[in-house]
Amino acid sequence: MRLDEGEQITKTPPHSHSRERFVATHLEQISDESKTALTLSESHSSPRDDYFAIVARATNDAVRDWNVKSGALSWPQGFDSLLGYDGSSTECDIGFWQKNVHPGDCARIAPSIRDALVGTSAHWSGEYRFRRADGTYINVLERSLILRAADGTPERLIGSLMDVTARKQLQDQLCRSQKMEAFGQLAGGVAHDFNNFLTTILGYGDLLLHERQIKGTLADHVTEIRAAAARASALTQQLLAFSRRQPLEPVIVEVNSIITNLERSLLRLIGENISVVCHLHHEKEGAHIKADPSQITQIILNLAVNARDAMPTGGQLTLETAIVDLTKETESPFQCGDFVPGEYVLINISDTGIGMNDEAKVHLFEPFFTTKADRERSGLGLATCYGIVHQSGGHLRVESEQGKGTTVQIYLPRVPAPPPPSYKRPTGKKPRGGTET
């Protein structure tokens, strides 16, 4: 439908069924017109050009038109440009849309649309993931109009699907950062106070053990109390590390030296059925970081233990070091923490183990999150790594696929190599007035 000569768009009744039909009919035109490129000059040339069609196209949204009665579905806009499907596709019923909504969102979206249709509402909106032709999912915000017959029966649902993937990612990133920050504050506060109590228990435990009257079973009981308090104290240290309140002793170290130094402990830790492969960088000037070497060692060992646990029947553990230039990155490539562009030293730890499911991927850095039944496990390994790496100005990234394995990447800011130790050439002169001893 085109507006007749001289007809004003403003003539359309503003709040009525006829206005909604007017919009819907104009959206239909887009599918025909989208085949013809509309130049800016064309759009300027005639004020009678289809205003709504142009506005719809300006949004870059996909538009779906579902005939609720017959089940027919057409895509007046964005089927190819946003969703990547071939315009000549024969998929033209609602089954196509249903098939491509993410299975995790279907159970929420389908009843919500059904409720809107059986009610009296003229609109429905919702956010869900939709599969593009290349198999990837985008997050869409659909805002739709429900056209009804005079008796209220729904006839058509016309929705515009806006790609909100980037916004959703940013939102998730912010939420995760805030959640980790809140966890850190809580854990740090509790750990700090708790540690004071434990120091008292440990101190008095020691005093009791040194009392002469405390012998035999009584002494054993006090030793048990002391040991439990010591374990609790180790736990609070991990919590303090997570909340970035642990005192670090940073020095400038070369990353390869850290890996080579812990080779032995690593081999002892992971057992015989796992092979270890190291790919260390060959940078001439070295790759230096400013960090507490004992803490970085602790992180790598934690990650190696996780890798071992993920490969109960054997596999391969790969350690890599490299320099990554993130100087030109304007947006943070990491999920949490403040990102400063620059050069980073990367330590990659990968295994060929069982990998993680989606739930584990979401929670893995949270303190006390563990999927291991073992009572000894506190679920603090990765939380500690998170705290130490962030306290050292770095970032962690995890990629994992179930059945294939996991890669944990530690990014630490690269720092210049320290100046070589000063070396004084012996002068050969005897110090004046000195005596040899």
- Do the bridges between strand 315-325 and strand 395-401 make them parallel or antiparallel, or are there none, so unpaired? unpaired
Contact, 344 vs 414, CB < 8 A? yes
**Rounded CA gap, 257 and 278, in Å?**
12
Distant-in-sequence, close-in-space partners of 267: CB < 8 Å, separation ≥ 6: 276
Of 57-65, 243-251, 266-274, 367-375, the segment contacting ligand ATP by CB under 6 A is: 367-375
Q: State in angstroms the smallest separation of the CB of 53 from Mg ion.
A: 57
Kindly state whether residue 393 participates in binding ligand ATP, applying the rule CB under 6 A.
no
Q: State in angstroms the smallest separation of the CB of 334 from Mg ion.
A: 21
CB atoms closer than 10 angstroms to residue 328: 6
Measured from the CB atom, the residue of 160 and 306 that comes closer to Mg ion is 306
| Total site size for ligand ATP, rule CB under 6 A | 22
| Cα four-point dihedral sign 71, 74, 80, 83 | negative
Q: State in angstroms the smallest separation of the CB of 422 from Mg ion.
A: 43
Instruction: Report the partner that residue 122 touches, choosing among Mg ion, ligand ATP, none (CB closer than 5 to 8 A by kind).
Output: none
Instruction: Report the partner that residue 380 touches, choosing among Mg ion, ligand ATP, none (CB closer than 5 to 8 A by kind).
Output: ligand ATP
**Rounded CA gap, 264 and 258, in Å?**
12
**Rounded CA gap, 238 and 188, in Å?**
10
Of 1-9, 99-107, 302-310, 335-343, the segment contacting ligand ATP by CB under 6 A is: 302-310
Of 26-34, 128-136, 255-263, 348-356, the segment contacting ligand ATP by CB under 6 A is: 348-356
Question: CA angle at residue 198 from 197 to 202, to 5 degrees?
Answer: 125
Beta strands across the sheet bearing 137-148: 73-77, 62-67, 154-163, 137-148, 123-131
Measured from the CB atom, the residue of 318 and 371 that comes closer to Mg ion is 371
| Cα four-point dihedral sign 181, 183, 185, 187 | negative
Comparing CA positions, the residue from 194, 190, 187, 220 lying closest to residue 205 is 220
Kindly state whether residue 367 participates in binding Mg ion, applying the rule CB under 5 A.
no
Q: Which amino acid is at 70?
A: S
Closest-approach residue to ligand ATP (CB)? 381
Question: What string marks each residue from 297 to 326 as x (binds Mg ion by CB under 5 A) or -?
Answer: ---------x--------------------
**Position among 140, 162, 270, 307 found at the interface with ligand ATP (CB under 6 A):** 307
**Rounded CA gap, 276 and 273, in Å?**
10
Q: State in angstroms the smallest separation of the CB of 271 from ligand ATP.
A: 15
**Position among 382, 388, 410, 412 found at the interface with ligand ATP (CB under 6 A):** 382
Measured from the CB atom, the residue of 238 and 321 that comes closer to Mg ion is 238
List binders of Mg ion among 378-397 (CB under 5 A): 381
For Mg ion, the binding residues (CB under 5 A) are 306, 381
For ligand ATP, the binding residues (CB under 6 A) are 306-307, 310, 351, 353-356, 360, 364, 369-372, 377-383, 406
